[in-house]
Amino acid sequence: MRGLWDMSRPVSSMLTSSRAFLFFLLVAFNSAVFASFSDQTATSLVQKMRDALIHQNYEGTFVYMNGKDMETMHVVHEWTDGRERSHITALSGPAREVHRDDQYLTCIWPEMRSVRKEPIRSRDDFLLPVPLNPASIEAYYQYRLDGEERIAGKTCSLVTIEPLDDYRFGHQYCIEAQTGVPLKVTRMDTSGKVIEQMVFTEISFPASVDQKSFDYQARTEGYDVSHVSLPQEKVEDISFKFNGLPVGFKVKSAMHRPAT
């Protein structure tokens, strides 16, 4: 997760994550009043989730599924003294680890005795794909509560973010009641079919995290270390334009990497 998405999304070639589904049937309520309440509550839960992915300590094991592919990961996340750190270890497939702090994303391949370090441009690169201000996308998505589920022994509230057109993915989060950490994350296509899903099988929220979890330097002494520089970001100077973009879409960034 970056937090959770955190470690899954940016390291998509090694790790990745997403969302889930389960629908709640409503009966004998004033639908207009209930919808208004649900939308408001769903939005506040998503805001709580964004904050939790940065500021909440958590440690656990999750399963990531993409099509027929499935991987099991262990994640440790810490926020202390204004500093955020995460470490993910793959428990299935080839041995590899991903460490992230406020400065670097570090990928480790023990079998190849190889380390790759890449500077981090922005914390938002690792967060789940939810805007800081949900009102900014209300013309394109509908937020709603879809009941509760029990995951990894804990109760979580299902929040569905459903697109109002065929240009966008649907998302669903099962958000743990006390902390705001998502225990299940699902991404769906325009037909509602699940594309990706991340589910915790166990999770805890310690007051403090064992610092040995982040001491990868001792384990990688003598490894081949490569440093990757970020490509130059030039939004204003791109020489091409996109015409006919759907409403709500815009160019956010463009990278310039010289040919080698």
Q: Are 128 and 117 contacting, i.e. CB atoms less than 8 angstroms apart?
A: no
- The candidate with the shortest Cα–Cα distance to 180, out of 77, 65, 98, is 77
Tokens of 194: 């699940």
pLDDT higher than 60, residue 68: yes
pLDDT higher than 60, residue 190: yes
User: Does the reported pTM lie above 0.95?
Assistant: no
pLDDT band per the 50, 70, 90 thresholds, residue 30? very low
Count H helices and E strands in the chain, helices first.
3, 14
pLDDT higher than 90, residue 158: yes
Distance CA 138, CA 150 (A): 28
Which of these ranges, 28-37, 170-179, 239-248, has the smallest mean pLDDT? 28-37
Instruction: Give residue-wise pLDDT tens across range 43-62.
Output: 889 889 989 999 999 999 99
Instruction: Give residue-wise pLDDT tens across range 79-89.
Output: 998 899 999 99
Q: Annotate 204-235 with b (16+ C-beta within 10 A) or e (fewer).
A: ebeeebeeebbebeeebeebeeeeeeeeeeee
Distance CA 23, CA 33 (A): 19
What percent of the chain has pLDDT above 70?
72
Q: What is the pLDDT of residue 52?
A: 92
Distance CA 184, CA 150 (A): 10
Mean pLDDT of 141-147: 90
Distance CA 234, CA 213 (A): 37
Q: What is the DSSP letter of 224?
A: E
Q: What is the pLDDT of residue 235?
A: 54
Q: How many angstroms from the chain centroid is the CA of residue 189?
A: 17
Which residue's entry shows tokens 């981090």? 120
pLDDT higher than 50, residue 21: no
Tokens of 89: 């270890």
pLDDT band per the 50, 70, 90 thresholds, residue 244? confident
Q: Which residue has the higher pLDDT, 257 or 224?
A: 224
Distance CA 86, CA 98 (A): 8
Instruction: Give residue-wise pLDDT tens across range 71-119.
Output: 999 999 999 988 999 999 999 999 999 999 988 889 999 999 999 999 8
Q: What is the pLDDT of residue 60?
A: 96
CA distances from 126 to 26, 33, 193, 258 (A): 35, 36, 24, 25
pLDDT higher than 50, residue 225: yes
Tokens of 40: 């408001």
Distance CA 77, CA 85 (A): 6
Q: What is the pLDDT of residue 2?
A: 40
Which of these ranges, 52-61, 123-132, 155-164, 237-246, has the smallest mean pLDDT? 123-132
